[in-house]
Amino acid sequence: MADQATQSIPERPKDTPAGEAGAVAPAEGEKGPSKSALKKAAKEKEKAEKAAKRKAAEEAQKKEQDANDVSSEDYGELPMIGSQEYKPTGVKRVTLAQIADKYSETTPIDEAGGVEVCFRAVVENARNQSAKLSFLVFRETLNTIQAVVAASDSLSRQMVKFAGSVPSESIVLVHGLVKKTPEPVKSATISHLEIHVKKLYVVAKADSQLPMQVSDAERPLPLEGEEAKEDESGRPIVTLNTRLNNRVIDLRGKHNRAIFAIKDGVTALFQEFLRGQGFIGIQTPKLLGAPTEGGANVFSVDYFATKAFLAQSPQLYKQMMIAARFERVMEVGPVFRAENSNTARHLTEFTGLDLEMAFEENYHEVVEVLENLMLYIFNGLRTKYKKETDLVRSIYHVEEFKLPEAGKVPRIPFSEGIQMLRDDGLEIGDYDDLSTPDEKRLGALVLKKYGSDFYVLDQFPLNIRPFYTMPSHTAPAHQKDSTDPNAGYSNSYDFFMRGQEILSGAQRIHDADFLCKRMKEHVSPVDPNSDGLKDYVNAFRYGCPPHAGGGIGLERIVMLWLGLPNVRLASLFPRDPNRVAP
């Protein structure tokens, strides 16, 4: 049997090496490769040989070119900073802003044909005009400048090609000459100068394919309620959701940098004014052992073996600081609201600008301080942040914010505001709360009547304000046997910009017994002896001056000042009911 099995295996021809392709002869009855298959295989082999020779020739040519590259040391990708021993270069670096400022007049650079500079910047775009010429645009903060890379006896074509192929958003180190442009460069903010590049090194290379372009972030989003799939040039609009999902790239837009410079400016102006009025900055807790202001709009978090809650505002602690004899306090800090509001003006986490102060005779002393504070902020934005404001408004075309003179801020009683709406055809009750459309409608009426985008609505109905709000002296709450202790008005107020609320405030109850009474009879009763409130109530048993204050939404100020269509654009990494990342 073994002999028969052995004899059944065809013998290999003696002149065919073992393992060679096609070496095994076809078995009896089987056909070998066809002539066309053999011919195709030969062609493939010839093609592969030619490709290998061509590649070898190109590599040899490149090697020869590299050997003759006069700019070989003047361009390329630098080693990652920190990966090698640090050796200082001693080369002084400048910024694009310094270049623009120093050479605002180009006469000083005409004589020598250019001034050598070294700076680091971002490549906004790069393109090869030809084998001998590339153009780039460098960006640094809000400044951009055009650069030229031109082949010469001292600058190789290889460097030109490299420069034109640097991916957008890469960070580069540039050595070059500042020169006057033949004509203004309209695509750059520094239009009268350009950089003639002599050395170009990539410090941090960006991916060639980004999830979105920075230019997408610099186009306007549609207003709330509007639909837009393409812009005026026919390019598709990148949605707000896509932009927020790629927020790091989105924030690189020049107008976004301007937005957050303005936001920082509002905070600085807020603190600057109040410090001048004798206020001291405080930092109140954001983790609470129990909800403090009632309602269900509070976030709970695990806190060791128990539960804690994120603060809805610093309200109660501000008042306790007044009782602690600080008398004028302010705070800038996060505020958390578990409201399932998916609108263009609501966030679940925002920045609150809060203040509280003792007054002498009437809560309008505090209202006046708040009015002057807001005017100080608005005028500061007009003067100190005009460039940033104009940049953003060039994208979101909004009319100039109309301001009243100091001391002439429209301060309208709530009842008068209701009457203005009725005269305009709206059916609304005396003590009804205002909806967002109602607020906007009233804002338009106030603008028409008073010529101001900024106004105060005073003496709100008591039944729509928190338990710690002081009832107006005419309110039944001050009577012993009132049938409706929540009727009437209160010493409370809201501030508005372009018909939308930015500040809510009031005189607070500073008497412990009256506070307990109001907590129990409020439309949403709370227990003054509960864990979250008893320390607050007791603070007023030790003697507390009359006081009032307010809380301002920072993002709303920025949104309404600039005319942004959505408050999320005024938050670095916004949080809403559907977003907790990035």
Residues carrying an active site annotation = 337, 339, 345-346, 501, 504, 556
How far apart, in whole angstroms, are the C-alpha atoms of residue 521 and residue 511?
Answer: 16
The amino acid sitting at 87 is K
For the range 442-449, what are the long-range contacts, defined as Cβ-Cβ under 8 Å and sequence gap of 24 or more? 442/417, 442/496, 442/499, 443/496, 443/498, 443/499, 443/500, 444/499, 445/420, 445/421, 446/410, 446/412, 446/420, 446/496, 446/499, 447/402, 447/499, 449/420
How does strand 133-140 pair with strand 328-336? unpaired
Residue 366 contacts residue 549 (beta carbons within 8 Å): yes
The rounded Cα 122 to chain-centroid distance in angstroms is: 19
CA-closest candidate to residue 175, choices 189, 161, 195:
195
Structure tokens at 201: 């090194």
Beta strands per DSSP E along 131-246: 133-140, 143-150, 171-180, 193-204
The string over 294-309, giving b where at least 16 C-beta atoms fall within 10 Å of a residue's C-beta and e elsewhere, is: beeebeeeeeeeeebb
H/E stretch holding 553: strand 547-553
N-term to C-term CA, the chain: 75
CA-closest candidate to residue 459, choices 425, 414, 497:
414
Is the alpha carbon torsion for 64, 69, 73, 74 positive or negative?
negative
The rounded Cα 410 to chain-centroid distance in angstroms is: 32
**Alpha-carbon distances of 504 from 31, 313, 336, 421, 436, rounded to whole Å:** 93, 12, 16, 21, 15
The amino acid sitting at 114 is G
Q: What residues are paired with 117 via a beta bridge? A: 176
How does strand 454-458 pair with strand 411-413? parallel
Q: Which residue has the tokens 């650079």?
A: 109
How far apart, in whole angstroms, are the C-alpha atoms of residue 185 and residue 163?
Answer: 20
* Rounded (10°) angle between helices 436-450 and 414-423: 90
Three-state secondary structure string covering 92-138:
CCCCHHHHHHHCCCCHHHHCCCCEEEEEEEEEEEEEEEECCEEEEEE
Spatial CB neighbours of 366, under 8 Å, sequence gap ≥ 6 = 357, 359, 505, 507, 547, 548, 549, 550
**Alpha-carbon distances of 467 from 238, 244, 464, rounded to whole Å:** 45, 38, 9
